[in-house]
Structure 1
Amino acid sequence: MLRSEFKVAFCYNMHPTTDELKNAEVFAEFDSKDTINAVTNSIKELGFQIFLVEFDDDFVENLKSINPNLVFNIVEGFQGEDRESQAPAIYEFLGIPYTGSTPMGHMFGLDKIMAKRVMEHNGVQTAPFQVFDTPIDGSLDFSVGFPAIVKPAHEGSSIGIHNDSVVNTLGELRKQVNHIINTYKQEALVEKYIIGREFNQAIIGNENPIQFPIVEIDYSYLPDDIGKFSSYEVKTTLDDPGSTICPADITEEQEKRISAATLAAYRACKVRDYCRIDLRMDEEGEIYILELNTIPGIAPGIEENNSMPKAVRVYGWTYTQMIGAIIEAALERYDFDLDNNGSYNDKIK
């Protein structure tokens, strides 16, 4: 099969326009039109046939009618703790190959509690934590210590994380835990707040993955009354393209230790094809994995400040090469071989 005959369905959620927004957090994980256009143009540039499929009521029927050879998936899903797993589960049911993690792999991206337990079981260090599944009413047994940060257990894109999410007293803890449980209808994850530097690293591949240059998030530009962490406000209204520094100013030994930790987390949670892993390094140099982003932001513009495209550019690749590498990682898993004539030997359909 020639590459020009190879059908790629690009599946996504598009962020609605400002006029349609009723609750910005609900759509925080969706992608902009610029990102949709950039991925579309890259897949075209790579020589594939491309079909755009938005995740809506007609999603399954549209996929069936296209009968693609591969799905390029960035669907975030909608509603529920397993929303990022919804589209991959459909691809599995329909027998369609796709990029990215399995439904279980995506579960680790949104279920912070399970991801932490799996990582710790596999020797990957995460911040000490405690889980609250009911509102705090009266006295409580709190073992994590202060300062602590309170998060929803099943959200991404810093949803539910605000300037008052870092707490220093039992009264503040009680207020934030109850707010998370009552507002987001899910457990509150309380972690020891790691004072230090914040980094992330993008990975593409499977058996021998590429680990891209490490990015540091620099919060020094923020006003004194704003917490130096990735809150929803910092990611949106207070975002600054200069805050992501790549390559990070770290020693060779620190780079090796960070890369070892991110790869261990990638392996432990059975992530496929690509991911961005967030972490902190405390004042003693200890590394703590914060979370895995199995559908990381891939907005193309420098002003949009997504770490993965920035790291890829520093590595020396174009945006299209990044998209191509993700596709190739999936094709290798599914045993598609590109022969010398530029054709794919389709072994599974």
Structure 2
Amino acid sequence: MRVGVFWRRFRNVELQKKLTPDKVYDDAYEEAYHHYEALKEAGFDAVLIEWKNDPIKTYETIRKEKIDIIFNASSLKEIEFLELFDIPYVGSGIDLAATDKRMRKDIVAAHGLPTPKYVVAYNSKEIPSVDHLKFPLFVKPIMGRGSAGIDEENIVYDKANLPKVVSKITDKIGQPALIEEFIEGREVTVGIIGYKNPVVLPLLEIGYNNVKTNTYEHKMFDNEIIKCPMEVPKEVEDRIKDIALKIFRVLNARDYARIDMILSKDNVPYFLELNTYAGLTTASEKGERYVHHGYMGYMAKAAGMNRREFIGKILESALERYDFENRKLLLA
């Protein structure tokens, strides 16, 4: 079994580079190296593969290295490439990767699960009516990642300030802006691993240091106040996990995902987003270069898993899903 670990320059900060190119730190290689080391420790034959702008070159490398399955695919382009060439890979499929936050919210809401009301703006001069929404509102890119474009001004208390924030998303980042009701409460994120029998990891609460939301700098430079496991009554914990697992299933997530929620003051967990490319890094090992600590890495530790067990279980989920014992490997 030979596992190819994708890495792509600036994979976590591509959007933020459009806003603050001098304030981004690219740890894409270090992140991939973490997964590579974890897979080797778990007993797999792993090799790092850089994603090239020319996909044919990437394909040639995969064939040359005789790769059986890909770990760490992290963009729609990569998923499309892997699907096109029928290369097995870890993680959610194109049916989920191709959707945006709006579509995911609509699917979740259609199944009777709570999510904030919203509208979508495509430019700052033609913003849909928000009269049916309760202020404050929160504005974010419709396909953002890594808290790109998020700072405290994204919490909008007055309709007059809305065009300025929408313009930041639509004009500078180049995406439609999702404008949703800002639910006051506790930010919780839920990690799930597996597919046929998914397992919910310990809940993680994100607290803030001197900010009102999880801004790009706050998140990417590990300034959050992390509590894992989150301290909530057992019945609230069970409700959060139950809703998160239902979301994982109705969106057809595979192998691993992280579901972001806000627990309102009346203990209703509102769905915000499902992360198909959730950060899986644990604390840097002694002698290794620093890598941003992923939320699911904290959850794995709280569940009693080291990186070998954690990353290994995610890969094993994909191997079971592909039924590798009975599958003729196309790239052998």
Q: Smaller-chain TM-score range?
A: 0.7 to 0.9
Of residues 236, 252, 258 in structure 2, which corresponds to 1:254? 236
In 1: Cα distance, 2:62 partner to 2:127 partner: 52
Preserved contact between residue 120 and residue 128 of structure 2 (Cα < 8 Å)? no
Classify the secondary structure of the residue corresponding to 1:281: strand
Count of aligned positions: 317
Q: CA deviation at 1:205?
A: 0.5
Counterpart AA for 1:231: T
Counterpart AA for 1:36: A
Question: CA 1:138–1:51 in 2, change beyond 3 Å: closer, same or farther?
Answer: closer
Question: CA 1:66–1:166 in 2, change beyond 3 Å: closer, same or farther?
Answer: same
Match of 1:149 in 2: 138
1:38 and 2:34 are equivalent in the alignment: yes
Q: CA deviation at 1:261?
A: 1.1
1:63 and 2:46 are equivalent in the alignment: no
Q: CA deviation at 1:165?
A: 0.3
Alignment of 1:6-155 (within 5 A): 6-15=1-10, 31-56=27-52, 57=54, 58-72=57-71, 74-76=72-74, 84-108=75-99, 111-136=100-125, 140-155=129-144
Moved more, 307-316 or 131-140: 131-140
Classify the secondary structure of the residue corresponding to 1:51: strand
Preserved contact between residue 196 and residue 321 of structure 2 (Cα < 8 Å)? no
Say what the alpha-carbon RMSD is for the aligned residues.
Answer: 2.5
Match of 1:79 in 2: none
Preserved contact between residue 73 and residue 90 of structure 2 (Cα < 8 Å)? no
Classify the secondary structure of the residue corresponding to 2:43: coil
Alignment of 1:192-211 (within 5 A): 192-211=181-200
Preserved contact between residue 131 and residue 187 of structure 1 (Cα < 8 Å)? yes
In 1: Cα distance, 2:7 partner to 2:73 partner: 4
Deviation by residue 1:151-185 (Cα, 9 ceiling, x = unmatched): 11111111111110001111111221233222222
1:235 and 2:235 are equivalent in the alignment: no
Preserved contact between residue 259 and residue 271 of structure 2 (Cα < 8 Å)? yes
Counterpart AA for 2:78: A
Preserved contact between residue 10 and residue 40 of structure 1 (Cα < 8 Å)? yes
In 2: Cα distance, 1:127 partner to 1:114 partner: 13
In 1: Cα distance, 2:293 partner to 2:78 partner: 26
Classify the secondary structure of the residue corresponding to 1:125: coil
Question: CA 1:61–1:282 in 2, change beyond 3 Å: closer, same or farther?
Answer: same
In 2: Cα distance, 1:256 partner to 1:133 partner: 38
Match of 1:327 in 2: 315
Q: CA deviation at 1:22?
A: 6.4
Question: CA 1:24–1:128 in 2, change beyond 3 Å: closer, same or farther?
Answer: closer
Preserved contact between residue 119 and residue 128 of structure 2 (Cα < 8 Å)? no
Preserved contact between residue 158 and residue 231 of structure 1 (Cα < 8 Å)? yes
Counterpart AA for 1:49: D
Classify the secondary structure of the residue corresponding to 2:248: helix
Match of 2:287 in 1: none
In 2: Cα distance, 1:97 partner to 1:140 partner: 44
Q: CA deviation at 1:347?
A: 4.4
Counterpart AA for 2:239: R
1:189 and 2:175 are equivalent in the alignment: no
Deviation by residue 1:87-123 (Cα, 9 ceiling, x = unmatched): 1221122121110011222224xx1111111111122
Q: CA deviation at 1:309?
A: 0.8
Listed as ranges, the gaps of 5+ residues in structure 2 are 285-289
Match of 1:214 in 2: 203
Preserved contact between residue 335 and residue 347 of structure 1 (Cα < 8 Å)? no
Of all paired residues, the percent bearing the same amino acid is: 30
Match of 2:148 in 1: 159
In 1: Cα distance, 2:328 partner to 2:25 partner: 34
Counterpart AA for 1:297: G
Preserved contact between residue 169 and residue 176 of structure 2 (Cα < 8 Å)? yes
Question: CA 1:143–1:94 in 2, change beyond 3 Å: closer, same or farther?
Answer: same
Question: CA 1:67–1:158 in 2, change beyond 3 Å: closer, same or farther?
Answer: same
Counterpart AA for 2:161: E
Preserved contact between residue 194 and residue 317 of structure 2 (Cα < 8 Å)? yes
In 2: Cα distance, 1:335 partner to 1:172 partner: 53
In 2: Cα distance, 1:22 partner to 1:126 partner: 29
Q: CA deviation at 1:300?
A: 2.4
Deviation by residue 1:314-337 (Cα, 9 ceiling, x = unmatched): 111111111111111001011123
Question: CA 1:8–1:178 in 2, change beyond 3 Å: closer, same or farther?
Answer: same
Deviation by residue 1:188-223 (Cα, 9 ceiling, x = unmatched): 11110010111011111012111100001112xx22
Classify the secondary structure of the residue corresponding to 1:296: coil
Question: CA 1:101–1:283 in 2, change beyond 3 Å: closer, same or farther?
Answer: same
Match of 2:266 in 1: 284
Q: CA deviation at 1:67?
A: 3.3
